[in-house]
Amino acid sequence: MPSANPPLDDQLLEEIHADQNTNTGIENKKLIMWLFLASDCMFFGTLISTHLIYRKLYPFGHPEEGAVNITGTFDIELTSFSTFILLMSSFLMALAVSSMHKGAIQSFRNYTFGVIIFGLIFLAGQVYEFQHFYHGQGWYDWKVSSNAGQVIVGNEKNKLLFHDVANTAAAKEGFGHEQFGLELLSFTPAEGADLAHPPITFKYEVELPDEVGNAPETFYGEYIYNPTDPHASQVVVLSEIPPPPVIEEAKEAPKEEASDDTAKADSGGKTDASEKAETTEEAEAPAEASETKDVTAAQEQTEAAEEHVAESTEHTEAPNEHATEKHTEDTHNEAHPHTHTPAPTSMAEVTKAAKETFKHSNYGFELNEFKQVQVVPGLDLKTSVFGSTFYVMTGTHGTHVAIGVLWLFSMLVYSYSGRLTPRHAVDVEIAGLYWHFVDIVWIVIFTVVYLVEYI
């Protein structure tokens, strides 16, 4: 047998390969990429047709009508944005290929970096989307009303806007202020909350814009939702999360504890974190009570405004009829003996901020009634054929994007190490073919899976 000579170096190999003119005039590796993409069309074709067949058979994603709220699931704005990003990444990819052909390696690096970033944004969008679809984040239509006749209607994912659907004048009276721009900033399941296993703890965040030009104030709360007994789930604990700015009314301490117990009982499946928080609060209650008297005796007048903070907090914590009515009657001039203990945590500033908020924004606003208009369980592989086809199809696409990002990232690194030079422009072109294909597939998926629902 002939003996082997030492290995050839890259340059000579390149010349040799350049000498081998192919019959078609297309480089071997480019041709095989086209063939792979032809085959990949069939992969995605099969996945997309599976989805469409089931979509047509079960317009609501499940044999039982209405099992999946498809438009409720989709966040069309986010996905449109992702799609746009992916399209733009293709544009950058084309520029990167063109730069490499011209030998402008620095431009190639810049554009490729852009493609990678855009690809990562797309992937991040998909991860976000999957997470929220899975947890049923977007699957709830909520109707939240206040005791003052304000009604919150929303079906957006993270942001429930307050709409004044009651008589404005009456509402004004109820609030005692002209402040209607209240916004529920977020309404998300607490850490570890499992929508499949109620009761579920949600965290919310409410913003109170200030009419006098101060910065808007934010306060936080917790809502324990029990779908098996919607009545029992109407417990709202304000300012619990982040770490409790413990503000309690001394005389109502026993009641407070009772309602806490109720809350706890209602939230049998609550996370450890929230249970712990409650326990802490209970344990601190006696100490607070004794401290309360001293503080109130000495600083009754100066802390008048602060009392209202506590008042509101208390009401929302224990939204029984009595408390609510009492609260509605409250005015700024009334002072009740109460106390507060600064939370011994790093979130002391937050506590202070919440207190400050209530000092001058006692609008009688309470989140004392959360009514569920529609419940659709979180979307996962198991709940419906819609979920099965959706996740497997978009997941396959996401995997393609991830591989593309890894590929381009490798090219970027090797362009710095000197492995990838303008002589390898065809390699970049092949990666570009792949990237464009993945983009085109997404256009099809976006159209036939997402957009079609909005026609």
Partner 1 sequence: MSSATAEVHTTHHHAVADKTQLAPEKSLLGLTRPDRHTGWIDWVTTVDHKKIGIMYGGFALLFFIIGGIEALMIRLQLSVPQNDLITAQLYNQFFTMHGTTMIFLGVMPLSAAFFNFLVPLQIGARDVAFPRLNTFSLWTFVAGAFVLNISWLFQFAHTVGWFGQGLVHTDMAPSGGWFGYAPLTGDKYTGIGTDFWIVGLQILGVASLAASFNFIVTILNMRAPGMTMMRLPVFTWMTLVTSFLIIFAFPAITIALAELMFDRYFGSNFFRTENGGQPILWQHLFWVFGHPEVYILVLPAMGIVSEILPTFSKKPLFGYPIIVFSGAVIGFLGFAVWSHHMFTTGLGKVATAAFSLLTMAIAVPTGVKIFNWMGTLWGGRIKFTVPMVFSLGFIWMFMLGGFTGIMHSSAPADAQQQDSYFVVAHFHYVLLGGVLLGLLAGLYFWVPKIFGRMLNQKLGYWTAFLVIAGFNITFFPMHYLGLTGMPRRTHTYLGDMGWNLWNLVATIGAFILGIGVLLCFVNIVYTVFKGKKCDADPWGGRTLEWSTPTPVPAYNFAATPIVQARDCFWVHKHGDKKIEYMPDDGHGIHMPSQSWFPLLCGFGFAFFGVSMAMMGAGVPYAGYCAIAGLSAVFLGVYLWALEGPGGYHLEPPHEEGADKPHDAPASHAAH
The residue within the footprint of partner 1, chosen from 199, 378, 387, 432 (CB under 8 A), is 387
Residue 157 burial by Cβ neighbours in a 10 Å radius (0-12, 13-18, 19+): buried
Polymer length of the chain: 455
Interface region with partner 1, contact rule CB under 8 A, candidates 173-181, 185-193, 387-395, 440-448? 387-395
- Give the per-residue contact string, 335-374, with partner 1 (x = CB under 8 A; - = no): ----------------------------------------
Locus of tokens 């990562």:
120
Helices (H) and strands (E) in the chain, counts: 13, 10
20 vs 14: CA distance, rounded Å: 10
Q: Could you tell me the smallest distance in angstroms from the CB atom of residue 50 to partner 1?
A: 7
Give yes or no for residue 398 binding partner 1 (CB under 8 A): no
Among positions 410-449, residues that touch partner 1 (CB under 8 A) are: 410, 419
How many chain residues touch partner 1 (CB under 8 A)? 51
What is the phi/psi pair of residue 151, to 5°?
Answer: -125, 135
Give yes or no for residue 7 binding partner 1 (CB under 8 A): yes
93 vs 293: CA distance, rounded Å: 70
Cis peptide bond upstream of 244, omega within 30: no
The residue within the footprint of partner 1, chosen from 389, 397, 401, 428 (CB under 8 A), is 389
What is the phi/psi pair of residue 375, to 5°?
Answer: -120, 125
115 vs 122: CA distance, rounded Å: 10
Give yes or no for residue 228 binding partner 1 (CB under 8 A): no
**Strand-by-strand arrangement of the 140-145 sheet:** 235-238, 217-225, 200-208, 183-189, 160-163, 151-154, 140-145, 369-375
Interface region with partner 1, contact rule CB under 8 A, candidates 26-34, 69-77, 152-160, 234-242? 26-34
Q: Could you tell me the smallest distance in angstroms from the CB atom of residue 195 to partner 1?
A: 17
Among positions 38-57, residues that touch partner 1 (CB under 8 A) are: 38-40, 42-43, 45-47, 50, 53-54, 57
What 3-state DSSP class applies to 186? strand
What is the phi/psi pair of residue 219, to 5°?
Answer: -135, 165
- In the complex with partner 1, the residue whose CB is nearer, 101 or 424, is 424
Among positions 158-187, residues that touch partner 1 (CB under 8 A) are: none
103 vs 345: CA distance, rounded Å: 59
Among positions 125-144, residues that touch partner 1 (CB under 8 A) are: none
Structure tokens at 412: 């970027």
The residue within the footprint of partner 1, chosen from 18, 63, 258, 325 (CB under 8 A), is 63
Structure tokens at 66: 């209405």
Interface region with partner 1, contact rule CB under 8 A, candidates 1-9, 90-98, 193-201, 256-264? 1-9
Residues forming the site for partner 1 (CB under 8 A): 1-13, 15-16, 19, 22-24, 26, 28, 31-32, 35-36, 38-40, 42-43, 45-47, 50, 53-54, 57-58, 62-63, 381-382, 384-385, 387-389, 391-392, 410, 419
